[in-house]
Structure 1
Amino acid sequence: MQPSFQPLLDDVCTSLSRDELGMDGIYLYGSIARGDAVPGVSDLDLSLVLSESPTPQVLEQLEAVRRDIERRYPLVTKVDFDIGSRAQVLAAENKYSWGFWLKHHCRCLWGNDLALRFERFRPSLDVALAVNGDFESVLTAYLARIARAETEQQRLVLQREAARKLLRATQVLRPQDAVTWPQTLEEHVALFVQAYPMKVTEVAFFLFEARNPSAAAEKFAVRLEAFLAWMILEQR
């Protein structure tokens, strides 16, 4: 772990491992997990696995913890929780989503490391669809949220998130014979451009927005709508 992030991660484990939250395991993913995070620029990305399905009360408590960590640690620009239950993770139908995610993208910070329950996965279209097959609904929702953003700062944060989702979702178009799996956004772009060189300008726009969001709302929305429509047709 990068030393500058260690106090934050220690605090996260203490805050989330309280008995009343019913935590089974806390997992770190993203740039901090890879060890290439930039203080004041990177997000804190966590997957939380609870012993049981969370109640509305527990979800409210987790949201309060998330906001508190975000407020107290300007070291990260945003704190994200992906929340599931132990039963969800171990369900056979979630092998290529939760199983792959924990095995290949996460580091267990605290609790039971359910990644040990899974064999290593080979890169495949099945995994890509399990992880990002929801791209149409998620990106359509981002378009609506961007249009409703009350401040420019909120809008730019949403554009950054939408661009990242889109770049990762390009994996649903991966060639069947592809043998690698990208980790960084740049690697996603590189693999995509190998198959679709004619789309290099469009995908480069979203890579820039994923790192330094700055495009006007209308320009971003038009480009996202066009790329999303193309992806839907191409996938079909």
Structure 2
Amino acid sequence: MDERGLDHDGTIAREGALDRITAPFVPVVDAARTHIAETFGRGRLHSAYLYGSIPRGTATPGVSDLDLVLHDEPTRADRADAARIEAAIDQAFRQIDGVGILLSSRRVLLSDLERHDGGFFVACLCTPLLGPDLAERLPRYRPTSLLARETNGDLGRVLPRWRARAAAAVTDTDRRTLSRLVGRRTVRTGFTLVMPQWGGWTSDLNRSAELFGRHHPERAEQMRVAASAGRTPSPDPAVLGMLIDDLGPWLAAAYTAVHGEKAPRP
């Protein structure tokens, strides 16, 4: 992998690997593997993946994310089982603060609609933990405008939901949770806005904000605030207001003008 996150052929390299997991997080991953295998087994589970800083080897105490691919469409029972795994791992390990499990079906991730969104996520941003690797059935990805559009071209649709959540937030915990979500998503959208020009991929929030700022210096400070909120969430309503009501609408309009809008999902 070169400094732009690319393999020798110019395609985006997979970010993580099991051998990059640092010692404090090995028990967390082992527990996740055991819980998933015991709960879903081979009948329901096609494959499981790690996502985020843990498989990249850059983790500090924080949130751990898992992606489970099922043979069939996720059911209410599947989601309830996933929630129990989340709670069990979160309660057992102090080195993480929350576990997020995404459930998807093999059919959806291999579909044309998800090829440059969910498929890309599994093939390049997730590290195999259990079962066959879906990346073997997906293309090699390049930092194109198509990839930008299908990963983050729906910010304009998300902003109204964020505004509603911000208006309903009554505690600092509510605002911190939303701040983390909004900050991370805003930085990723800002990065992918300029990704084809830069010609590479990164999931690092600081680097993403810095690369965005090179192309849009007038918004660079706001994007640095977004990256800070994504790492260390702020309960300050003014931070959320800036991200949702100022930077967000500008970014959504710029994104649509450059890359177009993401194809609607059912």
Q: Whose relative contact order is higher, 1 or 2, with alpha carbons under 8 Å and at least 6 apart?
A: 2
Deviation at 1:219, TM superposition (A): 4.1
**2:47 counterpart (16, 25, 29):** 25
Q: Structure 1 residue 43 and structure 2 residue 69: aligned? A: no
Q: CA deviation at 1:77?
A: 1.5
Match of residue 143, structure 1, among 163, 168, 172:
163
- Residue of structure 2 aligned with 1:161, choices 166, 181, 197: 181
User: In the alignment, what sits opposite 1:71?
Assistant: 91
Give the counterpart letter for 1:118 in structure 2.
Answer: L
What is the one-letter code of the residue matched to 2:215? A
Contact 1:171 1:188 in 2 (8 A): yes
Unaligned 5+ segments in structure 2 are 1-20, 258-266
Unaligned ranges ≥5, structure 1: none
| In 1, Cα distance between equivalents of 2:197 and 2:240 | 32
After superposition, give the CA deviation of every residue in 1:168-219 in whole Å (9 maximum; x if it has no partner). 0114522644311122111211221121111111111111211222352144
Q: What residue identity is the alignment partner of 1:80?
A: G
2:73 and 2:133 map into 1 onto residues whose CA distance is: 18
SS of residue paired to 2:97? coil
1:175 and 1:195 in contact (8 A); partners too: no
> What is the alpha-carbon distance in structure 2 between the residues aligned to residue 198 and residue 19 of structure 1?
50
Residues 1:122 and 2:134 are matched in the alignment: no
The alignment's C-alpha RMSD in Å is 1.9
Shift, 1:87, TM fit: 0.6
Q: What SS does structure 2 have at the residue aligned with 1:25?
A: strand
- Kindly provide the CA deviation profile for residues 118-141 of structure 1, in whole angstroms up to 9, marking residues without a partner as x: 242111121122112222233432
